[in-house]
Structure 1
Amino acid sequence: MKKILAWSVTVVTAATCTFGAAVPATAADVTTFTAATSTTSSGTGTDTSRLSPDLKALVDQMLAELPADWEQRRDAAAARYGIHDTQWAQLRDSVINPGDYQCGSTAFREYANGLRTGIEDQDLRDWLDVFGAFDIPTYDALVFGGESKDSTFGVHGDYTEELTKEQKDLKKFWDVYSEDIQLVPMHGREVFSSQERVARVLSLMFGITNEPVVRRLAGVVISLVNADPVLQGGDNPLFTFNAFAFSEKGDPNPAGISDRIVMGDGILEALKAVGLGDTAPRTVLAHEFGHHVQYEDNLFAGTTLTGPEATRRTELMADAFGSYYLAHHRGLRFSDTATLRAAKSFYEVGDCGFASPGHHGTPNQRLAASLWGASVAADTVKKNYVLPSPKLDELFEAKLPDIVKPDATN
């Protein structure tokens, strides 16, 4: 198995935004962008003419200093580290008939779409997309980040205590080896306030070893991020709208990155904005840890499902595993009300990308998987007994056909 990203979300793909992709790193989240194109003096085929003079000067400087094949280098780095990939694009052939399912927009999806359209200067936003600026905090946390006693979670550190404690509790709860799993924060402004941190990411993305050049490029990117107040110097949730589990277990070409769960400030802000800030952060972390249970038990294998249905299986399983922990007496002991709110979190991030290999399940399917996992915990006769994770998987596999059965009303 190759590197895995899970619950991977970037708002640049808000139209198909879903949490929790457990997919190979060489086919992870996609960031698609079609630039306004016309032949320019830069020779790149991208158009800077619509930018203000100040922004045009910055973008032109960036284009002039980047290597000629910078776009290919950007894409190669994204593929190597699983930052994004075209597998999130819609496939030509749908595996699932959308007409069989109830599937519509959610408050979370609408919030995500609003972030992207809320940037006043859309041309600036597009150029930030092209240069990979929205991925910089993800690279920073994934490749250079680590767990620390000084780590904070949330823009203002609001979720630090609860997430740090929960990570410790999750390691005690599950029956898999987990001591090496790090909980890593992802911040925006903190990264874009450091020319050194932006430079090392750009060096990684574009393969630039000339330190003066990469530092100048970092200065340009930071200036672009600070050019629009709406971007909040990197604290706009767009930059950290990402949370994922990562493992190189079984990868024949590891990059030397430890097992980790990365929690972006943007995701936490988004969940708070749709009224789920009291339970959803812990729900996300429980889901992410569920993916690490899958890694350790090799649960990505052992299925005949392929494409969208295969990814949907592992995502719904992580929903169920997460909710089992949340509701269990030895887990977080969520009340019925809190359990329903946790299930609501999964519902909100369901998606309708039936043809995408990153399809995670419809809102109703994610709700059903979550409620099922919680019910297994609630029905345990011996309240302190935790099912072995392979046994919980066995029960889930038997329940899966019922969870994903068509539910459209004609």
Structure 2
Amino acid sequence: MIKKPAACSLVAGITLTLTLALSPSATAADAADAVSTSVSSSTSAPSTQSTIDALLSESGYSADLKAKIRAAAALLPSDWESRLATQSKRFGLADTTWYAQAQSAINAGDYQCGRTPVQDWLSAQMNGVNGFRMLLLSAMGGDQIPTYDALVFGRESKANYFGADGSYTTELNREMTGLKRFWDFDGSDVQLIPMHGDAYRDLDRITRVYVEVFGLDARSARANAEVVQAIVLNEPALRGGDSPYFTFNAFAFSPEPADIEQYGLTKRIIIGDGVLEGMRGIGLQDKAAPLGVLAHEYGHQVQFATNLFESPLTGPEATRRTELMADAFGTYYLVHARGSALNSQRTLDVEASFYNVGDCNFYMDSHHGTPNQRLKSAQFAVSIVDGAQDQGHKLSALEFDAAFETAFPEIVAPDNE
């Protein structure tokens, strides 16, 4: 997903509409219908307050908690929804979560594109979650706390750990060092930063997102932080914020001058615990799949550095090109003798990870390529390595891109051709 050359999400293709098994009584679709009905009598767009009131009426919360949430919501500015959208667009995050796949646009005769195991796994993680409460959290901007906590306030540090239990820390840090050595640009200012759900257990961290990112005053920020924390901690299935839903993302970011001036941001790659848990959850026990995630995101940093986002393509086709290219860049590093030099089985795990985050959002700017296209892009990179006469020779980024551009029409060709 790219609204501007700032952030690229590996997992933007994963749809989480919460329409599957959220709770016996309330899915997000039910909640959305209820809200629509509740505010349909208004001739203008519903306000944040009216939306929150409609959701609260179906939430099942106690009268005291409802009153506290209403009081906090009343402190939100009149342009609240606009603020959320503006910041999401500013950081290139607009299409990473909460959007529906354009299933009606799929031509099943042209592309084999159904649900993947990781989509089913992620839906299963939301069993028992009340859809009204999740939409309430989203309306207050609370579902994005870990993302902004990592992106805006995270810094590279020896104390950082990757994965909820830290089990991916050594491998990902080692690979980051290898990636910086492998590609022919100065990546010394690219930071690798984890995203954890533990932000929900720290009121100060939630509050600073509301102040520094969303522009609320201290009183309003604290009040909303308290209710966001209450919503998350009182929903057992959200695991105190450790639900993979909140951190099911990985993306590369290259700051604009305003981002540097306001926040001191550097180029960075954010890896969420949810992604790492998801790869393990679908049976990719080897560390190769998470390494593939990082190598893909570093591929975007290669694109930033070499101006490879520029092309005559627009909309979904433009995003698909850069995402599939990043798959190829990542795989090339992982299988190359001077990169990670993965063996055949570990390479298959990488290919499976890319396949599982393909999507069918053909008419959305966030379209990253179908599962089969993402697999073919990775396989293309393997063929470049296997076909090299000198296995020690390494293509430059631009040389590799030239080969990719030649192969691209075949990579995206319909499956029945």
Q: Same fold (TM over 0.5)?
A: yes
How does 1:210-221 map onto structure 2 within 5 Å?
211-221=218-228
Q: Distance in 2 between matches of 1:43 and 1:401?
A: 45
Question: What's the offset of the Cα at 1:58?
Answer: 3.4
**82, 93, 103: which one aligns with 1:72:** 82
Partner of 2:226, secondary structure, is helix
From 383, 386, 397, the counterpart of 1:389? 397
Q: Please state if 1:200 is matched with 2:199.
A: no
Offset at residue 252 of structure 1 (A):
6.1
Q: Distance in 1 between matches of 2:318 and 2:328?
A: 16
Aligned-partner Cα distance in 1 for 2:12–2:206: 18
Q: Given the alignment, which residue of 86, 94, 113 partners 1:103?
A: 113
State the superposition RMSD in angstroms. Answer: 2.7
Cα separation, partners in 2 of 1:184 and 1:104, compared to 1, 3 Å: same
Residues 246 and 43 of structure 1: is their aligned pair in 2 closer, same or farther, counting only changes over 3 Å?
A: closer
For the pair 1:14 / 2:23, whether they are aligned, the reply is no
What SS class does the counterpart of residue 194 from structure 2 fall into? strand
For residue 223 of structure 2, what is the amino acid of its counterpart?
R
2:129 matches 1:114: no
Match of 1:236 in 2: 243
Deviation at 1:10, TM superposition (A): 6.4
AA of the residue aligned to 1:391? E
Contact 1:326–1:374 at 8 Å: present in 2 too?
no
* Match of residue 406 from structure 1: 414
Matched, 1:45 2:83: no
Output the amino acid matched with 1:135.
Q
Using the TM superposition, give the Cα deviation of residue 98 of structure 1 relative to its aligned residue in structure 2, in angstroms. 5.5
Whether 1:188 and 2:218 are equivalent positions in the alignment is no
Q: Distance in 2 between matches of 1:253 and 1:285?
A: 26
Give the aligned partner of residue 20 of structure 1: none
Partner of 2:70: 60
- Deviation sequence 1:28-83 (CA, Å, 0-9, x none): xxxxx94715369x982221211222542332122122223322222222222223
Q: Which residue of 2 aligns with 1:23?
A: none
Post-superposition shift, 1:137? 0.5
**1:55–1:271 distance in 2 versus 1, CA, 3 Å:** farther
Partner of 1:25: none
Aligned partner of 2:164 in structure 1 is 155
| Inter-partner Cα distance in structure 2 for 1:363 and 1:100 | 13
Sort the Cα spacing of 1:56 and 1:13 in 2 relative to 1 into closer, same or farther, 3 A.
farther
When structure 1 is superposed on structure 2, of 378-387 and 145-154 the one drifting more is 378-387
Match of 2:148 in 1: 139
Task: Flag the 1:342–1:391 CA change in 2: closer, same or farther, 3 A.
Answer: same
Matches of 1:57 and 1:382, distance apart in 2: 70
Change (3 A) 1:43 1:219: closer
Distance 1:7 1:126, change over 3 A: same
CA separation in 2, counterparts of 1:89 and 1:11?
Answer: 10
Question: Is the 1:119–1:125 contact (alpha carbons within 8 Å) kept by the matching residues of 2?
Answer: no
**What residue identity is the alignment partner of 1:115?**
Q
Q: What amino acid is the match of 1:351?
A: D
Give the SS at the match of 1:263: strand
Which residue identity lines up with residue 179 of structure 1 in the other structure? S
Cα deviation, residue 92, structure 1: 12
* CA–CA separation in structure 2 for the residues paired with 1:295 and 1:11: 21
Post-superposition offset of 1:114: 2.7
> 2:158 and 2:207 mapped to 1: Cα distance?
25
| One-letter amino acid matched to 1:147 | E
Pair 1:178-2:183 in alignment: no
Alignment deviations for residues 264-320 of structure 1 (CA, whole Å, 9 cap, x no partner): 00111111100124121000000011111111110111x222221111111111111
CA 1:12/1:2 → structure 2, altered by over 3 Å: closer, same or farther? closer
| Residue matched to 2:21 | none
Of 339, 342, 350 in structure 2, the residue corresponding to residue 342 of structure 1 is 350
Q: What is the aligned partner in structure 2 of residue 4 from structure 1? A: 6
Aligned mates of 2:259, 2:48 — CA distance in 1: 36
Mapped to 1, the partners of 2:102 and 2:352 lie a distance apart of 28
**How many angstroms apart in 1 are the aligned matches of 2:412 and 2:202?**
46
1: distance between equivalents of 2:339 and 2:103? 42
Match of 1:84 in 2: 94
Does 1:274 find its partner at 2:282?
A: yes
Matches of 1:86 and 1:205 in 2, distance apart? 17
Question: Residues of 2 paired with 1:107 and 1:65: CA distance?
Answer: 42
Whole-Å separation in 2 of the counterparts to 1:280 and 1:123: 34
Percent identity, aligned pairs only? 45
What amino acid is aligned across from residue 83 of structure 2 in structure 1? R
- The count of corresponding residues between Structure 1 and Structure 2 is 385
SS, match of residue 9 in structure 2? coil
Give, in angstroms, the shift of residue 195 of structure 1: 1.1
Q: Could you tell which deviates more after superposition, 63-72 or 257-266?
A: 63-72
Name the counterpart of 1:313.
321
Measure the CA separation in 1 of the matches of 2:169 and 2:144: 23
- Structure 1 pair 85–9 and aligned structure 2 pair: CA distance change class (3 A): same
Query: Displacement, 1:86?
Result: 9.9
Distance 1:8 1:317, change over 3 A: closer
User: 1:323–1:374: 8 Å Cα contact kept in structure 2?
Assistant: yes
Distance 1:58 1:354, change over 3 A: same
Deviating runs (4+, > 6 A) in structure 1? 86-94
Counterpart residue number, 1:28: none
Name the aligned partner's letter for residue 160 of structure 1: T
Residues 288 and 318 of structure 1 are in contact (CA less than 8 Å); yes or no, is this contact kept in structure 2? yes
Distance 2:232 2:68 in 1: 11
Query: What CA distance in whole angstroms lies between the structure 1 residues aligned with 2:306 and 2:221?
Result: 42
**Cα gap change, 1:85/1:204 in structure 2, threshold over 3 Å: closer, same or farther?**
farther
Q: 1:43 to 1:373 in 2, by over 3 A?
A: closer
